[in-house]
Structure 1
Amino acid sequence: MKILIVGTGYVGTTTGLIFCEMGHQVTGLDLDDHKLQALKAGKLYFYEPGLEELLSRHVAAKNIYFTKNTKKAVKENDIIFICVGTPMETDGSANLTYVKNVAESIGKYMNKSKIIVTKSTVPVGTAELVEKWVSGKQATPIRFDVVSNPEFLREGSALQDALNPDRIIIGTKSEKARKIMKELYKDFHCPIVITNPKASEMIKYAANSFLAMKISYINELARLCDALNINVNEVSKGIGLDTRIGPQFLRAGMGYGGSCFPKDVNALIQTAKEQGKPLSILESVVKVNEKQPIYIIEKIKQALGGNLINKKIAVLGLSFKANTDDTRESPSLRLIDRLLAEQAQVKVHDPVVKIAARPSLVQLQSVEETVAGAEALVIGTDWDEYKVLEWVNLKPLMAHPYIFDGRNMLDKRMVTNIGFYYEGIANH
């Protein structure tokens, strides 16, 4: 099949390359010249393990090509995937400007029947809006079908998730579109759920919100475990072995972040408010998540005498989780902002992410430079590199050997035997 991917970001690029793997011919459409030049050269402009090798191979084989010519791209392809961003508005709702622009362009340039697939995470009812936007720009009526087909990719493991999905959701009212989409996904060995567009759109939001709820639940429980001198990791293991609960997303830490959970939880809360059916549980999830980095700050302040004015703090890790360069809603950055507000002097390190320097904040190339003279060290992202550091060599570099493990990733016994003061999140 000839497939057009509109939006060559993390979701769009991954989706397009997976379809190349399945033997389809793919076009990537974007208006950003910087992105297009990188992708045409087989270079990934964002960090995602394993994806650049796939990109380079399919670009060389001419299974995928990239363009900014919207008219030509729409006319030449039969299935069009909308993979553009839906950024969060100040009230928590999703901004559909980019989706609308794409839909109207499709309507304007459509020359034959198309299957239009929304891969972007969009509010319930967006499929109907896409139909309206496409129809509104058609010079003469041409049949088309709209399908909701949400993605469930995890940053850092997007390639494996795309190749081995847990499930595929297809939301459509059209029998023709249903058959075409099932044929498109025929080589995937997982359950395929056929439903209507509204239910499909809700499934995406409901799934991410439920996972965010598990994270906030274990983080709030960790605070109680701290007060009772209980190791929350043991509690997580004990409840996670219950097959009704499962172990995933029960690891206490600094909270969730990234491009999906914060945006999707808030969008679902806003949708519920608009319907007069508030989701009080999810509202509490957001509040718990916002407080979690502050919980680490309080631990640091207590250890360093009650305030952080001019205290030298080292933070290892900037991305919202390991194996990605995505810093959107990163708990580590929220922690850094709070440290700076407390007038601390902050040095940071990350193996992938680069940020701009500002007063009282500097990024250094090596961990050794970052921790030198530090009165406290915070693990902000669970990069594997930090787990295998030579901690015995780092201790003499620090002014005070204090480690605050915001990810519960270090071996507490190992670092305390070296002579560090160690605190995790209820990691007793």
Structure 2
Amino acid sequence: MRIAMIGSGYVGLVSGVCFADFGHDVICVDKAHDKIAALKEGRIPIYEPGLDELVQRNVRSGNLSFSTDIATSVGEADVVFIAVGTPSRRGDGHADLSYVYSAAREIASAVKGFTVVVTKSTVPVGTGDEVDRIIAEANPLADVAVVSNPEFLREGAAIDDFKRPDRIVVGLEDERAREVMAEVYRPLYLNKAPLVFTDRRTSELIKYAANAFLAMKITFINEVADLCESVGANVQEVANGIGLDKRIGAKFLHAGPGYGGSCFPKDTLALVKTAQDAGSPIRLIETTVEVNTQRKRAMARKVVAACGGSVRGKTIGMLGLTFKPMTDDMRDAPSIAIAQALVDLGAKIQAYDPEGMGHAKKILPPGIDFAEGPYEAAEGADAICIVTEWNQFRALDFKRLRDVMSAPVIVDLRNIYQGDELAKHGFSYSSIGRPKNRHMAGIKDAAE
């Protein structure tokens, strides 16, 4: 199968490379000449474990190539995927679909013969209808079937998610596309991945509903964590107790500083706006968005409290900047709001992240010092704040920390340590939703 992937960002690149690894003939297309030039040289513009090796292997095999020539790439393809960005639109929070519609117009002028056009980008309900209309208007002779095929990839585990999916959702209106999409995903039949065929609008809503539910689950346990702190309960044991119920499940029940990343913030907001426009507001998700936004900046108050009520003139070591480990993604990361709040309160920040420093320097407020490692970030610090649960922060040398810090204070926003363990080393320790200075069995934190 000849596949053209329009957009070589996170979703487009991972999807295109995995399709190539299935044996399809894939060309990843992007208007950014520097990005395509880098990919041709084997330089990967994003951090995703295992992606660089997969790119190199499939380029060598001839299954994968890169281009800025949309017309030629689309004209030679059996299936064209639209995998461009749909960021939140400034001013109203709706998904910005300008890139999707622009791609649709270019596809319309380039298609030859029957072609399946697949929207892989996360888009609101009805977008497929508009893509269909745009193509028909731009080229009335175009013989296309427009399909919705949302992605369900977790950053840091995207390759495994693509190759071992929980489900593959395909929304279509033209039955000719069913056989084509079945052939595209045929290599996954051995894994018995459910291929769910539905109509286009339902498929589009499945994506938003899934992300909104998971975001709501995270926000729920974060609010339970606040209650735990007030009544002296342990949120990790609460999460374990309810997560063992198969109707609830243990995933996404890890209390922390709030969700971030490329999907949950923009997708929950877009769903809220879509529902409001449709006259069917989703109050639970509206509240989820509001609570999560407030929570990120509120986490700075835990640092202030740990420092005796003020951070003015004090140095805070911030460990972890990306919204989650195993990615370099800084989009809507809790660290942004936390760092800004601490700077506003007069603190000096020394920050470190294993992979996100490049992006962080462009996003975090000015005046932040970036360290070369966790102990350098802790140098002379009055407290350190663990914001992202990278593995290298899970086994810190506490003696070394105490030697370099001005005060032995740790604020753990990911609950990767136990209070009694830190107390033995002379640290004052604060965490999320757990009783202070009390032995806790806890549960091992698992990255989502």
TM-score (norm 1): 0.98
Distance 1:173 1:43 in 2: 39
Q: Deviation digits for residues 75-122 of structure 1, max 9, x if unmatched?
A: 111100000000101311100000001000011122221100000000
Q: Deviation digits for residues 6-29 of structure 1, max 9, x if unmatched?
A: 000111111111111111100010
SS of 2:203's equivalent in the other structure is: helix
- Residue 389 of structure 2 corresponds to 382
1:96 equivalent in alignment to 2:97: yes
- Residue 16 of structure 2 corresponds to 16
Q: Is the 8 A contact 1:43 1:56 kept in 2?
A: no
Alignment of 1:39-54 (within 5 A): 39-54=39-54
Alignment of 1:107-118 (within 5 A): 107-118=108-119
SS of 2:31's equivalent in the other structure is: coil
Alignment of 1:51-200 (within 5 A): 51-89=51-89, 90-138=91-139, 140-188=140-188, 189-200=192-203
Letter in 2 for 1:155: E
Distance 2:299 2:105 in 1: 47
User: Which of 380, 400, 403 matches 1:393?
Assistant: 400
- Residue 286 of structure 1 corresponds to 289
Q: Deviation digits for residues 141-187 of structure 1, max 9, x if unmatched?
A: 12110000000000010011011000000100111101111121122
Q: Deviation digits for residues 370-414 of structure 1, max 9, x if unmatched?
A: 101111110011100100221221112111111111111124332
Distance 2:389 2:408 in 1: 20
Q: Is the 8 A contact 1:118 1:146 kept in 2?
A: yes
312-321 vs 175-184, which deviates more?
A: 175-184
Letter in 1 for 2:161: D
Letter in 1 for 2:234: N
Deviation at 1:206, TM superposition (A): 0.0
- After TM superposition, what 4+ stretches of structure 1 lie above 4 angstroms from structure 2? none
Q: Is the 8 A contact 2:340 2:365 kept in 1?
A: no
Q: Is the 8 A contact 2:39 2:45 kept in 1?
A: yes
Distance 1:408 1:293 in 2: 16
Deviation at 1:211, TM superposition (A): 0.0
Deviation at 1:333, TM superposition (A): 1.5
In structure 2, runs of 5+ residues without a counterpart are: 436-448
SS of 1:187's equivalent in the other structure is: helix
SS of 1:115's equivalent in the other structure is: strand
Q: Is the 8 A contact 1:166 1:191 kept in 2?
A: yes
TM-score (norm 2): 0.93
Distance 1:334 1:382 in 2: 17
- Residue 415 of structure 1 corresponds to 422
Q: Is the 8 A contact 2:307 2:409 kept in 1?
A: no
Distance 1:203 1:147 in 2: 14
309-318 vs 355-364, which deviates more?
A: 355-364
Distance 1:264 1:294 in 2: 20
SS of 2:262's equivalent in the other structure is: coil
Deviation at 1:359, TM superposition (A): 4.3
Across the two proteins, how many residue pairs are aligned to each other?
427
SS of 2:261's equivalent in the other structure is: coil
1:371 equivalent in alignment to 2:378: yes
1:262 equivalent in alignment to 2:269: no
Q: Deviation digits for residues 343-383 of structure 1, max 9, x if unmatched?
A: 21111001111233864311011222210111111001110
Q: Is the 8 A contact 1:404 1:423 kept in 2?
A: yes
Q: Is the 8 A contact 1:347 1:363 kept in 2?
A: yes
Distance 2:320 2:393 in 1: 9
Distance 1:386 1:426 in 2: 20
Q: Is the 8 A contact 2:156 2:325 kept in 1?
A: yes
Q: Is the 8 A contact 1:316 1:348 kept in 2?
A: yes
Distance 1:169 1:187 in 2: 15
Deviation at 1:137, TM superposition (A): 1.3
Distance 2:85 2:330 in 1: 16
Cα distance change, pair 397–270 in 1 and its aligned pair in 2 (3 A): same
Q: Is the 8 A contact 1:296 1:404 kept in 2?
A: no
Q: Is the 8 A contact 1:320 1:327 kept in 2?
A: yes
1:298 equivalent in alignment to 2:298: no
Letter in 2 for 1:322: P
User: Which of 309, 314, 324 matches 2:312?
Assistant: 309
298-307 vs 63-72, which deviates more?
A: 298-307
Letter in 2 for 1:417: K
Letter in 2 for 1:397: V
Q: Deviation digits for residues 292-335 of structure 1, max 9, x if unmatched?
A: 23332222222323222111111001100000000000011211
- Residue 222 of structure 1 corresponds to 225
Letter in 1 for 2:59: V
In structure 1, runs of 5+ residues without a counterpart are: none
Distance 1:303 1:187 in 2: 53
409-418 vs 397-406, which deviates more?
A: 409-418
- Residue 324 of structure 1 corresponds to 327
